[in-house]
Every structure is written in C-alpha cells, then in structure tokens.
C-alpha cells in the first residue's frame, strides 16, 4: 500500500515539474517574440532610392562648362523608430544635428552613469584616422536633450551617440572607414560595459554612401568668371582697395570672400596666377588676372548671388581697365550670363527636390572639403 502511494506521489511530482518547465518555455518564447517585434525595423534611412553604385573615382567640382543635370533622384523619408534599450529605458531619438541620410549612426547605452571625459578619451583612441568627420553626443536626461561632446565636455550620462558622415567632397566612405567606425564604437562600448543599439549593416551603409555620393557629384558645380588685364598687370593695392570697398574680406585660403550676414561665403575673388592673396603681401603683388567664383551647392538663392557677383566683376573690371572673360578668354556677355543663370536654377532645383536645399546646413556639410 505504501509503495503504491509513493509511486503515485512520484508520478504526480514528475507531472508537476514537466508542467512548470513547459510553462517556462512558453513564457520564454512569448517574451522573445515580443522583444523581436520591439527591435524590428524595416526602414532604410537613405537620401536616394537605390541606384547602381558609380564606378571609379568621384568627379570633382567643375567650372564654367554646363552639361545638362541628370534626372532628379527621388528623396526618401527618414523614419525615427523608437526602441527599448537593454536596461528598460526608452531609447532617445537622434540628435537634431544628425541626419540619417548622410550620417552612419550608432547609439550606446551605459547601465551605470558614464563620465563624458572617459568616453571622449576612449573614442579618441579607437576612432583615430577615420577619413570622414565623426561627432559624438550625450543625452541629458534632466533636460531631455542631446548635448554635443567635445574634449572639454563634463558630466555623466547613460546614452551616447556617435555619427560618421558618409560623404564629403573627397568622396564616400569605404569599407575600411565603416569597419573602423563600427568596430571602434563597439570596442568603446565594451570597455565601459555599455550596449550598442541600432548597429548599421556594412552593405547598407556603403550602398547609401555610394548613392549619396553619386547625387552630390551630379550637382557639385563651381562657376568662375575672369578679369584679365589689357596691357599692364593689376596692382595688389588697388585690388585690395576695390575688394574691401565692396565688403569683401581676405581669408586664410588666400582669397577675398563676400559673405552673408551669417558669415557664410557667397562668392570669392582669387588670383588667376599661382600666388595667393595675403594681407601683408598685397603691396608688392602684381597679377595679370583675377577670378570670381560661386560655389553653387553652398549658396542659397544662387541666381541672386550670381547677379551680385557679376555686378562686382564688371565694376572691378572697369576700375582696373580689364576685360571680363570666360575660361577660354572669350568675352563674357549677356548671353553667357543668361545660360549660367538657367543652369544654376536647374542644379539648385534638383537639390531642393532631393530635400538638400543649396546653402542649407545639410548642403554645407556634404559639400565640404
């Protein structure tokens, strides 16, 4: 009788254990599915629809010649999906200064508060040598905003964001840049027992960079007009006096700059000859030619700026007794100016259609050296 009771109790115990294990497995699968749904994202953050990546090296900015611009690429929307971080906090959105169309972005979360100076030192060691700009931000929980990080930043934070620019005027990132950036950020995270989120894939990042670079190369236009002397070269003192009288200032790049109220360059005045302009050398400088240049992607209202530049070029040509000519030294008349105005309108319209307005902060980042 006792043995039958013991056998019955043992069978009941085994059944209960099996039931508990089965219930735990069901709960585990249920939570795994919920987590997968929380982190799943099917969006692509790209500026353009996928295109075949360009072959060879990027075409550098060109001047004076005006081929018809390519068909406008279709801009894509930029989703900002929210997700849950590994310690249960809601992942903050991207910093306003970051644009997923032109930045490769990785956020990391530290369970314990992480001092910004320690993070900065670690990332400086890991990310040194990347060919494109990399920026860091920290999320201030108290103020509910992202703060840019620099070598002088203080404070402690849970969330950090690293962003590598995909394209500039030197071209797109390559595989080495991507691996250096993504691997470096992950090593920084591991060093502080932090967790990276939203890790980009190599193939998608490189494809987005190639598409973006192809778009930029298609609208990267600089237009120049020249003033050449009749007989005697132009004196540097007179060039400087005329330039400064029109509000232009000399820059570290050896050119005079006409700037807007925000300090952004509208157009430049350069020496056609190799010597650069320098404030302390203008007294002894002589040259047979000057060049006015407008950088089309970097100025808003390009036609208005071009007209202003031509007024200044004609005024200076009269004062110096020179001629306004194109790069072939042919007279630059109203017909040539009309053609250029039309081309500027087309290129800047193409940029606006792709949601990269000429002269905007986004354009200034993309079309930087």
pLDDT over 80 at 52, yes or no: no
State the pLDDT confidence band at 198, using cuts at 50, 70 and 90.
confident
| pLDDT reported for residue 91 | 75
The pLDDT value recorded for residue 67 is 39
Q: How confident is the model at residue 58 (pLDDT cuts 50, 70, 90)?
A: low
Percent of the chain with pLDDT over 70: 76
Residue 16 has pLDDT above 60, yes or no: no
Q: What 8-state DSSP symbol labels residue 135?
A: E
Instruction: Answer yes or no: is pLDDT of 46 > 90.
Output: no
Quick check: 43 pLDDT over 80?
no
**Residue 245 clears pLDDT 70, i.e. is over it:** yes
Question: Domain-by-domain residue ranges, the chain?
Answer: 103-216, 220-367
Q: Taking residues 335-342, what's their average pLDDT?
A: 95
The residue-averaged pLDDT of 182-207 equals: 95
What is the average per-residue pLDDT within 79-91?
47
State the chain's mean pLDDT as an integer: 83
- Percent of the chain predicted with pLDDT > 90: 73
**CATH number of the domain located at residue range(s) 103-216 in this protein:** 3.30.1400
Q: At what angle do helices 334-353 and 302-320 cross, to 10 degrees?
A: 150
Note the pLDDT tens digit of each residue in 140-191. Answer: 999 999 999 999 999 999 999 999 999 999 999 999 999 999 999 999 999 9
What does the alpha-carbon distance between residue 349 and residue 343 come to, in Å, rounded to a whole number? 10
The arithmetic mean of pLDDT across residues 353-368, rounded, is 96
pLDDT for residue 230: 86
Q: Say which residue, 56 or 147, is predicted with more confidence.
A: 147
CATH of segment(s) 220-367: 3.30.1400.10
The mean pLDDT of 240-262, rounded to a whole number, is: 96
- DSSP 8-state class, residue 76: -
Please compute the mean of the pLDDT values over residues 267-277 and round it to a whole number: 97
Q: Give pLDDT, residue 84.
A: 40
What is the tens place of the pLDDT at every residue in 280-304?
999 999 999 999 999 999 999 999 9
What confidence score (pLDDT) does residue 348 get? 98
Query: How far is C-alpha 181 from the geometric centre of its chain's CA atoms?
Result: 15
Instruction: List, in sequence order, the alpha helices (H) in 220-269.
Output: 236-245
Q: Check pLDDT > 50 for residue 129.
A: yes
pTM, two decimal places: 0.73
**Higher-scoring residue by pLDDT: 83, 136:** 136
Question: Given a cut of 50, is residue 78 above it in pLDDT?
Answer: no
């Amino acid at each position: 009788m006792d043995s039958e009771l013991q056998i019955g109790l043992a069978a009941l115990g085994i059944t209960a254990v099996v039931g508990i294990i089965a219930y735990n497995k069901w709960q585990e699968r249920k939570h795994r599915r919920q987590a997968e749904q929380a982190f799943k994202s099917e969006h692509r953050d790209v500026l353009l629809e996928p295109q075949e990546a360009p072959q060879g090296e990027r075409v550098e900015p060109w001047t004076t010649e005006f081929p018809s611009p390519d068909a406008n690429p279709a801009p894509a929307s930029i989703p900002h999906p929210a997700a849950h971080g590994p310690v249960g906090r809601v992942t903050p959105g991207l910093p306003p200064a970051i644009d997923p169309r032109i930045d490769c972005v990785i956020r990391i979360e530290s369970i314990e508060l992480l001092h910004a100076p320690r993070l900065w030192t670690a990332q400086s060691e890991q990310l040194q040598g990347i060919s494109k700009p990399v920026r860091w931000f920290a999320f201030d929980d108290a103020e509910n905003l992202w703060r840019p990080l620099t070598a002088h930043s203080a404070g402690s934070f849970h969330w950090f964001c690293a962003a590598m620019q995909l394209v500039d005027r030197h071209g797109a990132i390559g595989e080495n840049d991507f691996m250096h950036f993504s691997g470096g950020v992950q090593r920084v995270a591991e060093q502080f027992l932090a967790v990276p989120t939203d890790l980009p894939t190599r193939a998608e990042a490189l494809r987005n960079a190639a598409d973006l670079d192809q778009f930029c190369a298609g609208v990267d236009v600089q237009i120049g007009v020249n003033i050449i002397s009749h007989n005697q070269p132009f004196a540097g003192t007179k060039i400087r006096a005329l330039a400064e009288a029109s509000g232009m200032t000399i820059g570290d790049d050896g050119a005079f700059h006409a700037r807007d109220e925000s300090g952004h360059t509208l157009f430049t005045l350069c020496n056609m000859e190799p010597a650069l302009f320098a404030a302390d050398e203008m007294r002894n400088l002589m040259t047979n030619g000057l060049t006015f240049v407008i950088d089309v992607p970097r100025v808003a209202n390009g036609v208005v700026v071009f007209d202003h530049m031509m007024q200044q070029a004609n005024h200076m040509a009269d004062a110096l007794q020179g001629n306004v000519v194109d790069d072939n030294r042919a007279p630059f008349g109203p017909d040539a100016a009309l053609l250029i105005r039309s081309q500027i309108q087309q290129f800047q319209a193409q940029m606006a259609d792709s949601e990269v307005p000429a002269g905007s902060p986004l354009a200034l980042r993309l079309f930087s050296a």
